[in-house]
Structure formats: C-alpha cells, structure tokens
Structure 1
Amino acid sequence: MCSPGVLLLVIQGFNTIQKDCVKQMGFCALLNMKMTEKFDPTKVKIILREGVEIDVPRELVNQILGYPLGKKLFSKLPFRKENDKSYMTNGLNNLKTKKMIRLHEIKLNIIALDNADMNFQMNFIALLINSLIESSSPEKSNTYTLNYIMKNTNIRNINLYSYFLNCLVKTKLSFDPSNPTSNFVRPSAFLALLYVDKVHCSVVNAERKRPVICHWTSEKMKLREIYEKEILKEFATGHFNEEFVE
C-alpha cells in the first residue's frame, strides 16, 4: 500500500545534487482518519459537522504538501509524442513496457540514480503524483502526465493545485467504500494532514511547521485517530488552530 512515507523515505536518500534539483523544481518546502466521507466534492470543503467546515484553497495545498504554486495547467503544455524517448534512457522508459507499474519500482529507479538529470526529474514527479495525488490501484502507477513534461519545462511553473484538486474531486465522486477495488488512499492523506493541522488536539499534536507532511509521522497520526475515536468518541471536538504564520 502506498503512503506519504514512501515519498519521504526516497527524498531522505537524495544526494546534494538531487536535493538541489528538487528545490529548483519548486518542491523545496516538501491518520488516514476517515476524512474521505467528510469531504464534499461539490463545495470543495471538509464538512466536519453543520457549520464547521475547512476550505481547501490553493495556498493550503502548498502549506500541507509543499507543492509549488505555478499557474500553467498540464493541459496547456505541449504533449510529448509516445515515441519520443530521447531523455528517458532507462527507468520509466523501461517500466512503460509493463502493464502494471508499481510505486515501489519507481522508488527503486530513483534510488539507483546518482545524478539529477531529466530521468531523475521524471521519476521524482511520477513518485510524487502516485504517492499523493492519483488514486489508481496500489499495483498500477499513472505516468500519463509525464508526457506533458519536456526538457525545457519549468516544473515550478506547473499548476499542480488544479491537477491535485481535480484528482481529489474526481476520486471522491467515484469512490465506493463497499467496493474493495475502489480506493481513496493517496488524496486522503492530504485531507488527513489538513485536518490534524487545522483542528487542535491537546493530547496528540505536532509542532506547527510547513509543509505539514514533513512534521506529522504516520505513528503520531494513528495515535491521534485512536484518541479521537476511542477516548473522545468523536472527531473535531477541539477548536480550530489560528491561521499559520511563518
């Protein structure tokens, strides 16, 4: 099963050149508690209860996940032809011949690299998208979006907020909890992180820093979930934290 931890584990293993490359791409700032049913895709809000809501503006996606706030939509970028593999000499290029690309295989691609060339950037974006945005099955990663990225593409300028939001809304609208093949694993991580940052809990908390994903561990989020479900018997009983200021 995929989780934000996979992404962070790989990032921690980057060398200096690769870390600088990720910063230049605009990702320098880089509980699955049942927030899925509380997310309203029509209002684009987490509705905790009547009158208690959390909006999802683009700035929050940056604060929670560390995504750069570019303005160019993927759909407005040039589309690379399928036979253009000029700078994908290995890694994803080899994986594309397979019907099922696992997130673990993308992770291994990055670990095997010691440079920060285009192949590294493409693998990193694939890891990012399939760790936290797309909600395809755990056994299949989506690499279609990579066809919009060229050698001269400034990734920092890409509007990942719109792409993320579209995936979040689309996934919620199609999500069927009764169907074992329907999953909300990846986008739900954002909703959970947004919740634990916004709603105060005096017993289980973390220092409020940005991006939130780097400061809430899976273990701490699980403890928070257990505390609210088993001790408080209800989510969102605490007050909202004040707006975060650096």
Structure 2
Amino acid sequence: MEGMMEAMESVVTAKNSKTNPTKKMTTAKKVRDTPVLEKRKNRQQIFKEAHCEEKFYQTVTWTLRWKTLRKEIKARAIRTSRQHVQEEVQNSQRWREDSKPKKNVKRKLIISADGDSQMTADTALPKQDAIAVKKTKKVKHDRVETRSGKHAKTTHKWPKLKTRSSPMQLFKCIKPLTRNQQEDVNRMGFGKMLSFNISGIPLKIAHYVVDHFNPEEMAIEMPCGSIDVDVESVHDLLGIPKKGIDMQNVRTYSKLDVAVEAWRKRYRKRFVAPTNLARSILTSDEANSFHFRLDFLMLFLTVMVECNKNGRMKEWILKTFTGDTDFSKINWCAYLIQQIKSCKDGWKSCDPESPFSGPLTLLALLYVDRVKCTGFPVDRTIYPIVFWNKYELKKRERFEIKRGGFGGEDLHEVGVVRRDPRKTELHANDEVLSNEIALIEKHLDVMEAKRVTVEKKLEVVFNAHPDNEQVKKLIQRFEKIVY
C-alpha cells in the first residue's frame, strides 16, 4: 500500500509540474535579469579561488620537498664528516706506526746437506750449523739537528725560515738615489751600503744559519767549526762605523725632539712599515736632508738589525736622537752586536707561527763568506754585499743541498783575504751594466713586436685607401722611426 501511495504522489507532482511551468520560468527570468558585471565577478572569484588553491598546493609541495632535501643534505654532511674523522684517525695511527723506529731483524740462511735453504731467527740457530747472511733494514727519518743536539721531526729535510726582516725594501731604495742623497749617506758613514746588492735570502739556508746561531756565545756553531759574530766581522761585511759613541751611554729623552717629532708626524699610522720608509726615501725632498737621513737610518736598522714581530719599525731609539745628532760618530757595529744577543728570543725552530725578526742578512752573509764550498767559485776579494745577490745565494743553496747539506766543509781563516775596493767597484758597475742591458733588451723586444703589428695595420689601410694623404704621412713617419 505504501508503495502505491508513493507512486500516486509522484504522478501527481509530475502533472502539477507540467500544468504549472511558472516555477521554472521564474528562475530563468532571474538569471536573465542579473547584470553582466555580477556574472563576470562571480567567474573571476571562482578563478581566483581555484588559482589560490593551486598555488597553496604548490607551496605545500615545495616546502615538503625542501624539508626532505635539507634532511638529506644534513645526513650527507654528517656522513662525510664522520668519514673524514675516521680517515684522519687512520692516517694519524699510520703515521705513529711509521714514525716508530723499526727493529732490524737479523735472520740466517740455513743450507742443509740436501741443498734446501730455510730462513730462521738468529736466536734459534747455533753458529756451527749454519752459514749466516746478515740483512738489515734501515728506517729513514727526516730529522733536523738543532743546536742543542735534539732532533725535531719535520715534513721536509731542510725546513724554510719564516722571516720579517727581508732586505728587499733596502735594495729597492738604494739604486735610485740621487747624487745629493748618496753624499748624505756617505757623510753618515754608510757609504759601502750604496753597493748593497741583495734583494732576498733563500729560506732554507736562512733557517740553517739562524738555527745554528748561539746568541750566548755570539757564534754560528756548526760541525765544521764556529763563526764568531763580532765588531770586526760586522764592519768587514757592511762597512758601517765601528768607532765612536756607544749607544748604551747615550741619554734617552722622555719625549721626542722637535725635529724627530716632525719627522714622525709624516707617518700617520701607529706602526711604520719598511715599505713606508722606502716610499718616503724615493719621494723625499732634497731640501730637508735630516728627514732623508733619518728615513735611511731607520730603514737600515729595521731591515738589517731588528724589527717588531709584525715587521714594523722599533721606535725606542728615536728618543736618543735630536736634530743635531751626527750619525757618523756613533759606533753602529757595537749597537748591532748588542741587539743580536736577543734576536732569538721567542723564536722557535720549525714553527711557522714564530717568525724571525733579527739580522738575517748579516748571518747569511757571514756563513757564505766564511764557509768553504769546493766547486762553487767565490771571489772573496770583492765585498760580500756586492758579490752576493739573491740569485747567487740561491745557487749556493742548491749546490750545498745536492752535495748533502750545509756546513759540511772547513772554514776560511780570519783576516787572510784582503778586500779590493777597486775590484768591488768594477764588479758593481758590471752588474749595473748587465741589468741595464737586460732592461734595454726587454724594451727592444716590445718595440719589435709593436713594429710588426703597426706595419701590418699600415699595409691594410694603404691597400684600402692608397690615395689618402693622411695614410701616406703615417707611412712616412713610420719609416723615419724604424729606419
């Protein structure tokens, strides 16, 4: 019954909808009557909502991907760091095992009556039953002998020295000095330094010399003998004054003198570097000779005697000077010897963080001048600061290393050789001439290369414009310059 009633109701509603179409008409009319702008707005809003949903989905996916990627990167970094640590531990263990001195195992070769041979330990065999063949294995270690007799393990057999007292700046500013400036240097008592020819010291031979220098005994102690570092040796090498006022007896003022203070105000920085002193010398005004003389003196003391650990100038000596100080009447050799006694304070051998700031050039010159080197020609009649230069010192270093090391031969006797000033001057002039010839050859090479390029360009321009007057003038000018 209920089913029949539901069927009857559905039939009645269908009839009513056919007979009364007003309901559908009203809805269609509403849609027709709505303005066009509202329709567009509805569409745009739908599109916006869809776009926002898509963008949100993209951002979510990208954030998830980025999180996973970051996790992978972190995990990879942790894995690589662990592997690196493990490798370092393994390498350190291998290095310890390799650095331990291995025992030389002696074994004996037993030859029996049947002709068979067998290797056995030395302790297990009686002497009368075997023929012993000794075999030894040598374990090589790169060791450096220090002055105290201890051995320090290093990666290189001949370590290099880290220094703050390179002679480069002094070498640069000596060559371009004017005649008036050279006369000032002569009046100061530093005339021989005008022939200074050393722009650098090889670092291996420098380390050997500094390492074997004993400041308590004031000598370079080596297996072949010891070289005394005294006033006479310093004067023989550098030619600076060895007589006059001792700096220990000079009064030290509490403040700088007026002239010295005016000189110091030219450098605005707290510490003055050798490069600043050299630049000031090269650009100095010849009207004020005191500034030039003090510049030269402080550069000499910074490079050749001592400097701070950062390579800058030591300024305590400025309080002993005045505007009327005569630098030629001071015993500079004795002052240098006095300062050498503390040059190795704080310096550690084979430590790259411990630079040497003492008189490196002086010690190296003493070594190459006094130690014999068979097969390497050295003219000792010429002053060492003129004969030796960076390239000759490098040759000497390589030569001695090939022959087994430094300090292996005997020493020259003191006072046997006599320096020849005339020969020294000729040698210095020959070297200056060779340097000038090399410079002119470089300029000629550049000119030749430019000549070829200009000639080709003129040929191209002349072929394109044979009747042009400017081109003809250029060709005539080129011919005058070249031919």
* TM-score using structure 2 length: 0.47
Question: Equivalent residue for 1:111?
Answer: 282
Hey, what's the Cα distance between the residues in 2 that align with 1:3 and 1:88?
27
Stretches of structure 2 lacking an aligned partner (at least 5 in a row):
1-163, 194-201, 420-483
User: Of 394, 417, 423, which aligns to 1:222?
Assistant: 394
Residue 22 of structure 1 pairs with residue 193 of structure 2: no
CA distance 1:89–1:54, shift in 2 (3 Å): same
Shift of 1:157: 1.9
Alpha-carbon shift at residue 66 of structure 1 (Å): 2.4
Q: Work out whether residues 106 and 127 of structure 1, in 8 Å CA contact, stay in contact via their aligned partners in 2.
A: yes
- The CA deviation at 1:169 is 1.7
Q: Alpha-carbon deviation of 1:148? A: 1.5
Partner deviation per Cα, 1:42-86 (whole Å, 9 max, x = no partner): 11111112x611111201101112221133122322335535333
Q: Is the 8 A contact 1:2 1:103 kept in 2?
A: no
Q: Is the 8 A contact 1:71 1:159 kept in 2?
A: yes
Equivalent residue runs for 1:162-201 within 5 Å: 162-177=334-349, 179-201=351-373
Q: Which residue of structure 2 aligns with residue 67 of structure 1?
A: 240
> CA separation in 1, counterparts of 2:252 and 2:384?
33
Number of equivalent positions? 242
Cα offset for 1:107? 0.4
- Is residue 210 of structure 2 the alignment partner of residue 36 of structure 1? yes
Residue 385 (structure 2) pairs with residue 213 (structure 1): yes
Identical pairs, percent? 23
2:237–2:365 contact (8 Å) kept in structure 1: yes
| CA spacing shift, 1:238–1:139, aligned 2, 3 Å | closer
The structure with the largest alpha-carbon Rg is: 2
CA contact (8 A) 2:340 2:358 kept: no
* Structure having the larger proportion of residues in helix: 2
Deviations along 1:183-213, whole A, 9 cap, x unmatched? 2254122111001001122344442245422
Q: Can you list the C-alpha shifts for 1:205-235, whole angstroms capped at 9, x where unaligned?
A: 4422454223210121122112212x11121
Q: Deviations over 1:160-184 (max 9, x none)?
A: 2232123222012432235544322
Asked if the contact 1:135/1:183 (under 8 Å) is kept, the reply is no
Paired with 1:131 and 1:121, the residues of 2 have a C-alpha distance of: 15
Most deviating of 150-159 and 20-29: 150-159
| 1:26/1:67 contact within 8 Å kept | yes
Matches of 2:346 and 2:244 in 1, distance apart? 27
Equivalent residue, structure 1, for 2:293: 121
Counterpart of 1:35, as a letter, is V
Conservation of the 8 A alpha-carbon contact between 2:237 and 2:383 = yes
Looking at structure 2, the residues matched to 180 and 154 of structure 1 have their Cα atoms a distance apart, in angstroms, of 40
Matching residue within 307, 329, 338 for 1:157: 329
The within-5 A match list for 1:224-239 is: 224-229=396-401, 231-239=402-410
- The answer to whether the 8 Å contact 1:70/1:156 transfers is no
Q: How much is the aligned-residue C-alpha RMSD, in angstroms?
A: 2.3
Q: Report the Cα offset of residue 137 of structure 1.
A: 2.8
Matched, 1:202 2:374: yes
Residue of structure 2 in register with 1:46 after alignment: 220
Change over 3 Å in CA distance of 1:17–1:180 after alignment to 2: same
Q: Could you say if the C-alpha distance between residues 73 and 82 of structure 1 is closer, same or farther in structure 2, counting changes exceeding 3 Å?
A: same
Q: CA contact under 8 A between 2:258 and 2:323: conserved in structure 1?
A: no
The answer for the alignment partner of 1:5 in structure 2 is: 168
- In structure 1, what is the Cα distance between the partners aligned to 2:358 and 2:189? 21
C-alpha change, 1:245 and 1:44, in structure 2 (3 Å) is same
Instruction: Measure the CA separation in 2 of the matches of 1:237 and 1:103.
Output: 35
**Aligned residue identity for 1:237:** G
What SS does the aligned partner of 1:53 have? Answer: strand
On the 8 A contact 2:370/2:411 being kept in 1, the answer is yes
Q: Larger deviation: 130-139 or 99-108?
A: 130-139
Larger RCO (alpha carbons 8 Å, 6+ apart): 1
Change (3 A) 1:84 1:154: closer
Aligned equivalents of 1:16 and 1:225: distance in 2? 36
- TM-score norm. by structure 1 comes to 0.87
